[in-house]
Chain A
């Protein structure tokens, strides 16, 4: 969920940063208004606001329905598969691994010598293997004597079947997107500002089209300039996902205090939580730093933003 939030925040932030650094005055103004509003209000206030908005949506009886997707104050319901949790996790893991391998083939220098047609064939093969593997995992974990796809439907006062996404989760993802986009927008603007005028003018003088100037000259240089700051921001946003606790369990404090007096296990739990965060943050920073090194140190030609 944190990664979904990060991804959306990056996209929205890119749009806002571009609006802020464009020549068009109304677009600049819109970007400024957005950033000033969402940067200057604490994330947790925004989170509570979005949470209040999503929980005040209609009750299951008059749910907002688009196709088989239902939106109510109790969550977002959409069609799911009748499989065990374990097999679903395995299937998703296989898909992600396949995507990473494809990315690796596309980016890594080791495959640079292999000609591009064979490389394409190789990635296609990996993709097909991934899909097949995921399908096998799913069919293996299928709950017997139920239809494969379960659709959400109204039964009594509640909605049964399908897959339910709790409101806390998408409220948090939404809040992180909106808030993170404001900060990332500023970072993007800083990145574009740091690209020398001479570079752009030289590219124009060479007769490159505006799109090529943007995608081949301004964007790569801006990405190089903003990546270190962006890494910090990502780490910060990942840490901010803990705020889900604030809305998810409004008196988590009491629960913890109670469970400490009962079992004394919470110290270990908090220890595990902290260790988990250390690992996630350090590895995220390590991966992004590696990317940063790859594009920053050598002054050679670099690929389009990755």
Chain B
């Protein structure tokens, strides 16, 4: 009898083989590995050293002590975090701003749960959240003092811009996408021209147009608060991009689906809302999540038209004589906030993509 059983290789030997094949396959590869490991080690050591080992954590430390320690000076965050998070919102009322942030984040998390997916449920929680946010931030009801929109700032403003852009922009995008594939050539052409024009302009130019130029063109009764004009601008920009994404999804759904629905005599609104759109959204999901992430990052552009959102508040936080030296710490703090949101959203997107693919394999 020949022994056909294969001996399981010794684990240490296996490890060694893996190491050899992945890290030291060739002389050049070995050098590359060593160089990369050295860079990685240096980077990790340098970051840890700067953020933890030599950093200054005491809130009452100032420039002299921080310089002596040589590392990061987290005292600037300890002293100025309320400015970064809430902007120029009245100091005594900042709990309202914090609560509003929590409500928005909770709503976003809730609507990410598959259990909440349904037009009525989603609309209900978003309506409730919008109402609660508005009352908390603006005041003037339930015994809360009034705070005008110009004083909103920091994280609350960033979240407000982001959420309202997506909530207004998404239905607009669906509308534009449907108009672009309309059977009436005039509507289809005009919509196509509109979408392409918006897409080829930088967002900054659109923000300027809505924040600065519009009040001079429109009659006074139509202009409204600057904040809302900017949101409309952001929403139109988002809708133009999202419409193209949805159109991609619509093109991807088999045309037989719609024809079958037509043959069954299903009216247009059900054909679109129950048969075509759900499939289109499923196809367009990865790109949609990507676009939402980009929109979140682009809300920081409103700094240019004079809003004190997260980034501008951070700029203000270190732009006093006392903290002028600590700009790196402030930017690291802001970047960490953005990173948390964006990274979370994109991971969620990846999860959704996996989940959606389960049924198809």
Interface residues of A (CB under 8 A from B): 22-27, 29-30, 36-37, 40-45, 48-49, 52-53, 56, 235, 239-240, 242-243, 245-246, 251-254, 256-257, 260, 264, 266-267, 270, 273-274, 277-278, 281-282
Q: A42 touching B297 by the CB < 8 A rule?
A: yes
Q: A45 touching B334 by the CB < 8 A rule?
A: yes
List the one stretch of B52-60, B72-80, B115-123, B202-210 in contact with chain A. B202-210
Determine how close the nearest CB of chain A comes to the CB of B348; give it in whole angstroms. Answer: 13
Interface residues of B (CB under 8 A from A): 22-23, 25, 29, 32-33, 36-37, 39-40, 197, 200-205, 208-209, 211-213, 216-217, 297-298, 300-301, 303-306, 311, 315, 325, 327-328, 331, 334-335, 338-339, 342-343, 346
Q: Interface of chain B, helix or strand or loop or mixed?
A: helix
Q: A278 touching B331 by the CB < 8 A rule?
A: no
Q: A245 touching B338 by the CB < 8 A rule?
A: no
| Cα(A260)–Cα(B209), bound, Å | 12
Q: B205 touching A267 by the CB < 8 A rule?
A: no
A-B contact pairs, 11 of them (CB 8 A): A27-B32, A41-B342, A42-B297, A45-B335, A56-B327, A242-B204, A246-B204, A246-B301, A253-B304, A267-B213, A270-B205
Closest to B340 in A: A40
Q: B213 touching A45 by the CB < 8 A rule?
A: no
Determine how close the nearest CB of chain A comes to the CB of B20; give it in whole angstroms. Answer: 12
Given A44-B303, A56-B327, A257-B212: A24 and B205 within 8 A (CB)? no
Q: A30 touching B216 by the CB < 8 A rule?
A: no
Q: A24 touching B306 by the CB < 8 A rule?
A: no
Determine how close the nearest CB of chain B comes to the CB of A1; give it in whole angstroms. Answer: 15
**Chain B residues closer than 8 Å to A245, beta-carbon distance:** 204, 304
**Chain A residues closer than 8 Å to B335, beta-carbon distance:** 41, 45, 49
Closest to A26 in B: B36
Determine how close the nearest CB of chain A comes to the CB of B38; give it in whole angstroms. Answer: 9
Q: A253 touching B212 by the CB < 8 A rule?
A: yes
**Chain B residues closer than 8 Å to A239, beta-carbon distance:** 201-203
**Chain B residues closer than 8 Å to A260, beta-carbon distance:** 212-213, 216
Q: B200 touching A278 by the CB < 8 A rule?
A: yes
| Cα(A273)–Cα(B306), bound, Å | 20
Shortest 3 CB-CB contacts between residues of A and residues of B: A26-B36, A42-B297, A239-B202
**Chain A residues closer than 8 Å to B306, beta-carbon distance:** 251, 253-254
Closest to B208 in A: A270
Determine how close the nearest CB of chain A comes to the CB of B285; give it in whole angstroms. Answer: 18
| Cα(A246)–Cα(B76), bound, Å | 24
Determine how close the nearest CB of chain A comes to the CB of B84; give it in whole angstroms. Answer: 12
| Cα(A164)–Cα(B25), bound, Å | 49
| Cα(A52)–Cα(B40), bound, Å | 26
**Chain A residues closer than 8 Å to B197, beta-carbon distance:** 278
Given A40-B338, A44-B300, A246-B303: A256 and B212 within 8 A (CB)? yes
Determine how close the nearest CB of chain B comes to the CB of A254; give it in whole angstroms. Answer: 8
**Interchain CB contact (< 8 A) of B200 among A25, A43, A45, A281:** A281
Inter-chain pairs besides A239-B202, A257-B212, 6 sampled, C-beta below 8 Å: A53-B328, A235-B200, A242-B202, A243-B301, A253-B208, A266-B213
Given A24-B29, A24-B32, A252-B304: A267 and B201 within 8 A (CB)? no
Q: A48 touching B315 by the CB < 8 A rule?
A: yes
